[in-house]
Amino acid sequence: MNPPPATVLDQLELDALTELVNLGIGQSALSLAEMVRDEVTLSVPKVALVSRDEAIRTLGEREAKNLVAVHQVFAGDITGRALLIFPEARSLELVRAVIGGSLSIEEIIELEQEALAETGNIILNGCLATIANQLQRNLKISLPEILHGEGKEFFNLAPPPDPGDVVMFIYIDFAVRRSDIQGYIAMLLDMPSIAALKNLLGEYIQRVAGDSPA
């Protein structure tokens, strides 16, 4: 019997993780802002550790059926999948916000898939690389892939997931050029990875606490 996901990390570890996620997202926002040459705000209202089933349920309850996800896998001390998820209906809006200018709807539709993949790539890379750097670990991070479908498809990608998998569920608000889009980053981790993450967070906390005279 696996412990409930929410209790895998203690409060201090979860706080440290939230801090790292915020740093990472901040880095993503900088990268995006540089590219679109406009202000980009990425904020994280909430980070939660949930089970796969719960992640699927949350998406099902909060969002429309049709979702789009940018999917990347990462490997190293921690191995897993990262998904940037938002409603499909908002994807054109996101692309238009990122591209800017006065492109016609036809032109935007033409660019949608690529632009989406790249935008997701920037956000996920910023997040993952920053976390890896802060934990002083190295991650190999793959190229992005676009998925369309429902939450339960995203969390059941082959090879078959393990029932003990934990999802780090990050709610993000994405604001650029007067568009405000809510989405999620979900990091799917297996048990060994979550254990490794716990260790790394412990070391990180020690370092940070050691740095401060308090």
Partner 1 sequence: MVDKTTKSQHSVLDAVDAGLIVLDRERRIVQWNAWMASASGYALADARGKRLAELFPGAVSGRLNAAIASALDSGVSSLLTHALHPLLFSLKTRSGRRLLHDVTVSAIGSCPETGCLVHISDVTMAVRRERYLRERQNARYDAIVASAPDVILTLDGEGVIRFANRAAVVQFGYSEQELIDKHAVVLFEPGSDWDDAWRRALADERLRQPVELVAHRKDGSATYFSLSASRWQDDSHVFVTAILRDINERRAADAALRAREEEARAAAAALAHLNLTLEERVEERSAQLLKVEEALRQSHKMEAIGQLTGGIAHDFNNLLQGITGALNMVQKRVGEGRIGEVDRFVKGALSSAERASALTHRLLAFSRLQPVDPRPVNMNQLIGAMEELVRRSIGESIRLQMDAGEDLWLVRCDPNQMENALLNLAINARDAMPDGGTLRIASSNESFDASQASIRDLEAGQYVRVTISDSGTGMPPEVQARAFDPFYTTKPIGKGTGLGLSMIYGFVRQSQGSIRIDSQVGKGTTIEICLPRFHGSLEPAVRNEGAVGAGHAGSNEVVLVVEDEDIVRLLVAEVLKDLGYRALEASDGGAGLRIVQSPQRIDLLITDIGLPGVNGRQLAHAARATRSNLKVLFMTGYAESAATGELLDEGMHIISKPFSMDNLAAKIREVIESSFNLDER
Residues within the interface to partner 1 (CB under 8 A): 31, 34-35, 72, 76, 89-90, 92-93, 96, 98-99, 105-106, 108-111, 114-115, 117-119, 121-122, 125, 128-129, 132-133, 138-144
Which long-range CB contacts under 8 A does 31-39 form with residues at least 24 apart? 31/122, 31/125, 31/126, 32/98, 32/119, 32/122, 32/123, 32/176, 35/98, 35/122, 36/97, 36/98, 36/99, 36/100, 36/176, 36/177, 38/100, 38/176, 38/177, 39/176
* Of 58 and 119, CB closest to partner 1: 119
Strands 80-87 and 40-51: unpaired
The tokens describing 119, both together, are 């935008």
* Of 141 and 175, CB closest to partner 1: 141
* Of 179 and 191, CB closest to partner 1: 179
Minimum CB separation from partner 1 for residue 34, in Å?
A: 5
User: What single-letter DSSP state applies at residue 101?
Assistant: S
* Of 141 and 205, CB closest to partner 1: 141
Minimum CB separation from partner 1 for residue 140, in Å?
A: 5
Minimum CB separation from partner 1 for residue 75, in Å?
A: 9
Minimum CB separation from partner 1 for residue 35, in Å?
A: 5
Smallest Cα–Cα separation from 9: which of 44, 47, 55, 57? 47
* Of 110 and 203, CB closest to partner 1: 110
Minimum CB separation from partner 1 for residue 154, in Å?
A: 19
Question: Alpha helix locations (H) across 135-181?
Answer: 151-154
